[in-house]
């Protein structure tokens, strides 16, 4: 039989235990919050990323040929492009207004985020004749001197391998027609290419297999 004295002792013990649990939770809470804050180094650009995903796909894994794959692209290259779009050195009616009010520190975070994602698999195929022409033009242009034999680039040089052919084709035409002016060497080289050469390069790069 539980006496009044026993009940009082039980309630007192329970209260002490509960207070200790609450105190421990309160002590742990700030640490947990700090840990979460440290883990999300991209907190300041989450809203910007949502905008990016609208065209470039979730995490930059674009499935639309007109929009480049950003996931797994070279960090420094992407940062420079964003910076150039912000300053107008690389004109873009779409991207210019988007990056206009983003600070450089956040542009770096955007580039870093996409560079840390996995490049998606693409399944572009071309026939032997197209492949031979594309490889010949690339070899003659010395493309692998900068983009490497893997055509995956390095730091300041973008990955071209398995990028969408439509985007590559449009970009090369922009260089050749001086619509894009932040890489003079590319513009000079592409002025020597025909439309057929550009088509062959774009299709070869999109279907590239090491």
What pLDDT is attached to residue 39?
76
The 3-state secondary structure of 73-139, one letter per residue: CCHHHHHHHHHHHHHCCCCCCCHHHHHCCCCHHHHHHHHHHHHCCCCCCCCCCCCHHHHHHHHHHHH
The average confidence (pLDDT) of the chain is: 86
Give the confidence band of 210 by pLDDT, cuts at 50, 70, 90. confident
For the entire predicted model, the pTM comes to 0.80
The residue extents of the domains of the chain are 1-39, 42-118, 121-210
Does residue 24 carry a pLDDT above 50?
A: no
CATH topology of domain 42-118: Cytochrome Bc1 Complex; Chain D, domain 2 (1.10.760)
Task: Select 121-210's CATH number: 3.40.190.10, 1.10.3720.10, 1.10.760.10, 3.30.499.10.
Answer: 1.10.760.10
Same topology between domain 42-118 and domain 121-210: yes
Portion of the chain with pLDDT greater than 90, in percent = 80
């Amino acid at each position: 039989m539980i006496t009044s004295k026993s009940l009082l002792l039980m309630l007192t013990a329970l209260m002490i235990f509960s207070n200790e649990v609450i105190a421990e939770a309160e002590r742990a809470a700030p640490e947990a919050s700090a840990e979460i804050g440290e883990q999300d180094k991209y907190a300041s650009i989450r809203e910007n990323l949502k905008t990016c995903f609208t065209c470039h796909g979730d995490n930059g894994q674009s499935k639309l040929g007109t929009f480049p794959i950003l996931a797994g692209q070279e960090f420094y290259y992407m940062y420079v492009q964003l910076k150039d779009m912000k300053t107008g050195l690389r004109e873009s009616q779409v991207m210019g207004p988007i990056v206009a009010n983003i600070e450089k520190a956040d542009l770096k975070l955007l580039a870093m985020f996409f560079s840390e994602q996995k490049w998606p698999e693409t399944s572009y195929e071309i026939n032997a004749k197209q492949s031979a022409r594309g490889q010949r033009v690339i070899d003659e242009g010395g493309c692998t001197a900068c983009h490497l034999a893997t055509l995956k680039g390095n730091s300041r040089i973008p990955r071209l391998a398995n990028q969408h052919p439509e985007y590559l084709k449009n970009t090369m035409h922009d260089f050749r027609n001086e619509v894009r002016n932040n890489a003079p060497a590319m513009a000079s080289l592409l002025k020597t290419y025909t439309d057929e050469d550009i088509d062959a390069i774009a299709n070869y790069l999109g279907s590239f297999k090491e």
